[in-house]
A = this chain, B = another copy of it.
């Protein structure tokens, strides 16, 4: 995956013309065309504008990940921050039920891993 394909994909997905998107980004249509054809590379500022506009991460834009929304919704983060996790023993006190089915310890472990990741405690 490359920047060009992502850009073209996102633009098409929203039904925009190069002209329109270029205007939104404050660049010329020619420049955008170059980006989509991987002839030129947008600078970081433009990359940021694209990410903001389409609500995707730059990592997704440049093809480093398939996950478009690396930038998680603030409310999602808020949820994660609500949970109180201290040490590894939380697993014991942790009960998760989805659709009436209790999560397996393994699944619960993954969920906790997520919350921790969100809290930047993995580093």
Contacts and interface: CB of A to CB of B under 8 A. Distances in A.
Interface string A99-119: 110000001001101100110
A10 B122 CA distance: 14
A110 B57 contact: no
What's the interface size class on A, roughly? 35 or more
In the assembly, how many copies of this chain are there?
Answer: 2
A87 interface: no
B75 A113 contact: yes
Interface centre among A13, A76, A95, A100 (most CB of B within 10 A): A76
Interface centre among A3, A59, A71, A120 (most CB of B within 10 A): A59
Interface string A1-29: 00100000000010000000000000000
A36 to B, nearest CB: 15
Given A79-B110, A79-B114, A64 B73 contact: no
Interface of A: 3, 13, 41, 43-44, 47-48, 51, 55, 57-59, 62, 64-65, 67-73, 75-80, 82-84, 93-100, 107, 110-111, 113-114, 117-118, 120, 122-123
